[in-house]
Structure 1
Amino acid sequence: MTHPAHLHPDRLFPASEPARSVARELYPAVRDLPIVSPHGHTDPAWFAGNARFSTPTALFLTPDHYVLRMLRSRGLSYDALGIPRKDGKSIETDGRAAWRLFASNYHLFAGTPSKTWIDHSLHAVFGITEELSAATADSIYDAIDSQLGTPELLPRAILDRFNVEVITTTEFALDRLPHHHSMEADGYLGRVRTTYRPDDVTNPERAGWIDRIREFAELTGENISTWNGLLNAHRRRREFFRRFGAVATDHGVPTAQTADLAPIEKQALLDRLLTGQYSNEDADLFRAQMMTEMAGLAVEDGLVMQLHAGARRNTDPSLLAERGADLGADIPSRVNYVDGLQPLLARFGNEPNLRLIMFTLDETNYARELAPMAGFWPSLLIGPPWWFHDSPQGIRRYLDQVVETAGFYNLAGFNDDTRALLSIPARHDVWRREVCGFLGRWVGENRLSKSSAEEIARHLSYQAAKDAYRIA
Structure 2
Amino acid sequence: MPRLHPDRLFPPQDPSLSLARSLHEEIAGLPIVSPHGHSDPEWFAENRNFTDATSLFLTPDHYVLRMLRSQGFSYEALGLARKGQQPTVPGIAAWKLFAANYHLFAGTPSRLWIDHAFHWAFGIEDELNAANAEAIYATITRRLGDDDLKPLAILDRANVEVIATTEFALDPLLHHRNLKSKGLNQRIRTTYRPDDVTDPENPGFIANLLRFGEVTGEDVTNWNGMIAAHAARRAFFRDNGATATDHGVPDALTDDLALHEKQRLLDGALKGTLDANGKRQFRAQMMTEMAALSADDGMVMQLHAGSNRNTDPQLMAEYGPNLGADIPTRGEFVHALQPLLSRFGAAKSFRLIVFTLDETVYARELAPMAGYWPSLLIGPPWWFHDSPQGIRRYLDQVVETAGFHNLAGFNDDTRALLSIPARHDVWRREICRFLSQMVAEHRMSLPSAREAARHMAYGAAKAAYNL
Q: What's the TM-score once normalised by structure 2's chain length?
A: 0.99
Picking from 18, 21, 24, the partner of 2:18 is 21
- How many angstroms apart in 2 are the aligned matches of 1:102 and 1:56? 11
Task: Quote the residue 2:155 is aligned against.
Answer: 159
Q: Residue 53 of structure 1 contacts residue 148 of structure 1 at CA under 8 Å; is this kept in 2? A: yes
User: 1:275 offset after TM fit, Å?
Assistant: 1.0
User: 1:146 offset after TM fit, Å?
Assistant: 1.4
**CA spacing shift, 1:90–1:14, aligned 2, 3 Å:** closer
Which amino acid is 1:48 matched to?
A: A
Which amino acid is 1:34 matched to?
A: P
Q: Residue 80 of structure 2 contacts residue 87 of structure 2 at CA under 8 Å; is this kept in 1? A: no
Which amino acid is 1:206 matched to?
A: N
1:221 matched to 2:186? The reply is: no
User: 1:308 offset after TM fit, Å?
Assistant: 0.4
Give SS of 2:335's match: helix
1:239 matched to 2:244? The reply is: no
- How many angstroms apart in 2 are the aligned matches of 1:264 and 1:348? 22
Q: Deviation per CA, 1:326-369, whole angstroms, max 9, x where unpaired?
A: 11000000010101100101111111111000100000011000
User: 1:269 offset after TM fit, Å?
Assistant: 1.0
Task: Quote the residue 1:54 is aligned against.
Answer: 51
Picking from 304, 312, 315, the partner of 2:308 is 312
Task: Quote the residue 2:62 is aligned against.
Answer: 65
Task: Quote the residue 2:109 is aligned against.
Answer: 113
Q: Which moved more, 1:182-191 or 1:293-302?
A: 182-191
Q: Deviation per CA, 1:270-300, whole angstroms, max 9, x where unpaired?
A: 1111111111111100000000000000000
Give SS of 1:222's match: coil
User: 1:177 offset after TM fit, Å?
Assistant: 0.5
Which amino acid is 1:344 matched to?
A: L
Q: What value does the CA root-mean-square deviation take over the aligned residues?
A: 1.0
User: 1:17 offset after TM fit, Å?
Assistant: 1.8
Give SS of 2:336's match: helix
Q: Deviation per CA, 1:30-86, whole angstroms, max 9, x where unpaired?
A: 111000000000001100110010111111111111111111111111111111211
Task: Quote the residue 1:388 is aligned against.
Answer: 384
Task: Quote the residue 2:261 is aligned against.
Answer: 265
Q: Residue 392 of structure 1 contacts residue 431 of structure 1 at CA under 8 Å; is this kept in 2? A: yes
Give SS of 1:334's match: coil
Which amino acid is 2:226 matched to?
A: L
Give SS of 1:337's match: coil
Q: Deviation per CA, 1:414-472, whole angstroms, max 9, x where unpaired?
A: 0000000000000000000000000000000000111111111011000100000011x
- How many angstroms apart in 2 are the aligned matches of 1:173 and 1:254? 19
Which amino acid is 1:55 matched to?
A: D
Task: Quote the residue 1:281 is aligned against.
Answer: 277
Q: Residue 171 of structure 1 contacts residue 194 of structure 1 at CA under 8 Å; is this kept in 2? A: yes
- How many angstroms apart in 1 are the aligned matches of 2:401 and 2:184? 41
Q: Residue 191 of structure 2 contacts residue 242 of structure 2 at CA under 8 Å; is this kept in 1? A: yes
Q: Deviation per CA, 1:172-216, whole angstroms, max 9, x where unpaired?
A: 000001111111122222110000000001011011111111111
Picking from 25, 28, 36, the partner of 1:31 is 28
- How many angstroms apart in 1 are the aligned matches of 2:397 and 2:38? 28
User: 1:88 offset after TM fit, Å?
Assistant: 2.5
Counterparts of 1:66-465 in structure 2, within 5 Å, are 66-88=63-85, 91-92=88-89, 94-465=90-461
- How many angstroms apart in 2 are the aligned matches of 1:21 and 1:276? 62
Q: Residue 359 of structure 1 contacts residue 385 of structure 1 at CA under 8 Å; is this kept in 2? A: yes
- How many angstroms apart in 2 are the aligned matches of 1:238 and 1:23? 42
User: 1:98 offset after TM fit, Å?
Assistant: 1.0
Which amino acid is 1:68 matched to?
A: L
Q: Residue 12 of structure 1 contacts residue 433 of structure 1 at CA under 8 Å; is this kept in 2? A: yes
- How many angstroms apart in 2 are the aligned matches of 1:442 and 1:188? 40
Which amino acid is 1:81 matched to?
A: L
- How many angstroms apart in 2 are the aligned matches of 1:379 and 1:455? 23
Which amino acid is 2:76 matched to?
A: D
Which amino acid is 2:352 matched to?
A: L
**CA spacing shift, 1:111–1:366, aligned 2, 3 Å:** same
- How many angstroms apart in 2 are the aligned matches of 1:249 and 1:440? 35
Q: Residue 40 of structure 1 contacts residue 419 of structure 1 at CA under 8 Å; is this kept in 2? A: yes
User: 1:89 offset after TM fit, Å?
Assistant: 6.9
Which amino acid is 2:98 matched to?
A: F
Q: What's the TM-score once normalised by structure 1's chain length?
A: 0.98
The count of corresponding residues between Structure 1 and Structure 2 is 467
Q: Residue 19 of structure 1 contacts residue 437 of structure 1 at CA under 8 Å; is this kept in 2? A: yes
Q: Residue 87 of structure 1 contacts residue 322 of structure 1 at CA under 8 Å; is this kept in 2? A: no
Picking from 2, 6, 9, the partner of 1:9 is 6
Give SS of 1:250's match: strand
Which amino acid is 1:366 matched to?
A: Y
Q: Deviation per CA, 1:93-120, whole angstroms, max 9, x where unpaired?
A: x211111111111101001000000000
Quick one: percent identity of the two aligned structures? 65
Which amino acid is 2:306 matched to?
A: G
Query: Which structure 1 residue ranges, 4+ long, deviate > 2 Å from structure 2?
Result: 87-91
User: 1:91 offset after TM fit, Å?
Assistant: 2.2
